[in-house]
Amino acid sequence: MRQTSTAPRNNKLKPSSNLIMNGSVRVRVIRTLLAIQNGKSLASVLDPLLNSMHDGDRGFAHALLLTTLRQWYALSRLLDTLADNPIDEVEVRTTIQVGLVQLLYLEVADHAAIHETVEAAKEIEFAHATGLINAILRKVAKNPSKFRKKCDKKHSLPNWLAYQLKQDWSEEYDDLMQGLRQPAPMFLRVNTAVTSIEDYQQALVEFEVEADLVELTSGLQLENSSDTATSNSILTKGLRLHQSTAVNALPQFAEGAASVQDMHAQLAAPLIHSALLNKLSIKNDDADVDTDTNTNNNEIRILDACAAPGGKLAHWLELISSNESSLFHVKQDNAETSPVISKVKITAIDNEAPRIERIHTNLQRLNLSQHDLQQAEKNIELNIVCADATTWQGAGKKKSKLVFDAILLDSPCTATGVIRRHPDISLLRTEEDVEQTALLQADILHNLWPQLKVGGYLLYVTCSILKQENVEQMQDFMTYYNNVVAVEFSDDCSWGIEQAIGRQCLPIDSESGDGFYYALLQKTAE
C-alpha cells in the first residue's frame, strides 16, 4: 500500500534539524523529531536512531520518540498555556515537549528528566533557552497529575483532522480521539500452508510469548447459480500478542511460519478469495474463464494492485496454496468435483522499485516466491511488476481489456487509520493531501475497472478512517458506472461499522485492529 507523504508547512526549521546521530539519547531523539517535522517519515528515521544506540538505551529512545509523537499536538497546546510568551523556535518547542513526555507519560525521575533535557538543549546549540526550559519543566514537575489530565482531556491531532473526524464519526469521536493516542497491539498471521494456528500458538508458549486467539467473522451476500444472493460466512483467525515482541524472538519466523499483520488487514485476502471461489462455483460460469487455444487449459487471472510491502499478497498466496484443491476443483450441482482451472496467474504491481524489492523479500521468507511455487509444483504463476496503477494495462497489446477475474486494490490513502502505529502521520499529513489522495484513488479505480471481467470482483481496501477516501469514494464510483453492484456484508459480521457501501473499522479498542475500510464490488456487464 502506497502512502501519501508530505512535509509539514513549517519554514522555521533550521539546518540543525538534519538527522545527526550523535550526542545523548535525548539529543538523538530531538534531532529525529526535528527531521520528522522537516518531512522525514518515522519509518525512514527510526532504524538509524535505534541502530546508533547501545542496547540498554534503545527501549527508552523508542518509547520517548513514539510517545512524544503520539501526544504531539496535546503537548503543544499544553506548552502554549505554560509559556508567558509564544515560543517560536521549533528546536526549543521540541526539546520542551520531549521533557514533558518524560514527566507526564514515562515516569522518569524529575531531576533526571529536567537536568538531561536542559543539557540536551545545550548540545543542540540552544543554550540561550535553558532557563525557559528549566522553568517550564520544574512547574510541571510540581503537579504532574494535574498537567497530565489537562493534556489527556482533548485530542492530540491537528485541528483540521480532528474536525473532519468529528464530522465523519460524531458518535464515536471521543473514543476515537483517545484510541488514536494509544499504542496498537501486535498481531500475527499464521501461514496455514506451513502450520495450524493452534500449533503455532502452542509454539509461542514454549518461547514464553503469550498470545490470544482472535476470530473475526465476515458475512458476504454473494450471488449464486440461481442469480440470488446467499450469505457466505468467512472465519479469519489471528493471534494477538500480550506484549509487542521482536520478530527474532518468534518461533520459526525466519522460516515463514508467521507474519506480523494487523488483524483488520488480515480480512482482505479471505474476502477477495471467497468472492473468487464463489465466482468459479456458479453454474455455467465457464464463459468467464479464459481458454488457451494452444493447450486447451483453463486459467484464472487475479491482480493485486498497489501490492507493497506484500502482506496481503502473501496471505492470498497462502490461501491459494493451502486450499489448492478447492480452487482447482469446483463442486458442481451433481455434488461431484470436476477440474475447471489448470492455472492461477497472479500479477502484483507497485510503482516504486524499492517497494517491489520488499515484496520479493517478504515472499522469499514465506517460501512463496515464483521459484518456491514451482519447486512445490503449484499451478500458480506469479508476476511482480513495477508499474503505475493509474495507467498500467494488464492486457498489454491484446485487443480485449477484460483480463482479471478478481482484483485486490489496496488503495493509496492518507493512512489515518494506522496513526497508532505510525504517529508521524498526524504531523506529515495536510488537509490538501486528502483531496489529492482521493483524486489518485479515483484515477486508479477508473483504470482498473475496465480490466475486470464480467462477473468478477474488485475488493477496495484502505487504511484510512476518512469517509472521503472510503464510502464517499465508492458512492462517486458507483454513480459514474452503471455496471457495478456493491456486495452487501451480512449481519453476522463481527467487525466494523456498516456503511452505505462497505464496512469501516475504527481503531478505538486497545485490543482490536487498525482503521480499515472494505468494499466489495462486482462487475455486472461490459
Q: Which residues are annotated as a binding site for S-adenosyl-L-methionine?
A: 306-312, 350, 388, 410
Helix H or strand E encompassing 243:
none
The per-residue DSSP string of 6-50 comes to -----S---GGGS----S-HHHHHHHHHHHHHTT--HHHHHHHHH
Region for 240 from its dihedrals, namely left if φ exceeds 0, alpha if ψ lies in -120 to 50, beta otherwise: beta
Question: Of 413, 463, 493, 505, which is the active-site residue?
Answer: 463
Buried b vs exposed e over 181-210: b needs ≥16 C-beta within 10 Å?
beebbbbbbbbbbbbebeebbebbeeeebe
- What does the block give as the cell for 211? 498470545
DSSP conformational letter for 274: H
DSSP conformational letter for 452: E
Phi, psi of 79 (to 5 degrees): -60, -40
Q: What angle, 0 to 180 degrees and rounded to 10, lies between the N-to-C axes of helices 25-37 and 110-123?
A: 60
Task: Report the C-alpha gap between 159 and 144 in whole angstroms.
Answer: 25
Neighbours of 248 (CB within 10 A): 7
- What does the block give as the cell for 475? 458512492
Helix H or strand E encompassing 315:
helix 311-322
Q: How far is CA 266 from CA 32, 134, 269, 397, 516, in A?
A: 32, 47, 7, 35, 10
The SS3 call for residue 120 is helix
Determine whether 505 is an active site residue.
no
Give the residue ranges of the annotated binding site: 306-312, 350, 388, 410
Residue 65 buriedness (CB in 10 A; 0-12 / 13-18 / 19+): buried
Cis peptide preceding 412, ω within 30 of 0: no
The SS3 call for residue 416 is helix
Strands (DSSP E) along 292-419, which ranges? Answer: 298-305, 329-331, 337-339, 343-350, 380-386, 404-410
DSSP conformational letter for 3: B
- What does the block give as the cell for 439? 483524486
- What does the block give as the cell for 110? 524529575
Q: How far is CA 55 from CA 27, 116, 128, 422, 423, in A?
A: 17, 19, 33, 23, 24
Q: Write out the catalytic residue numbers.
A: 463
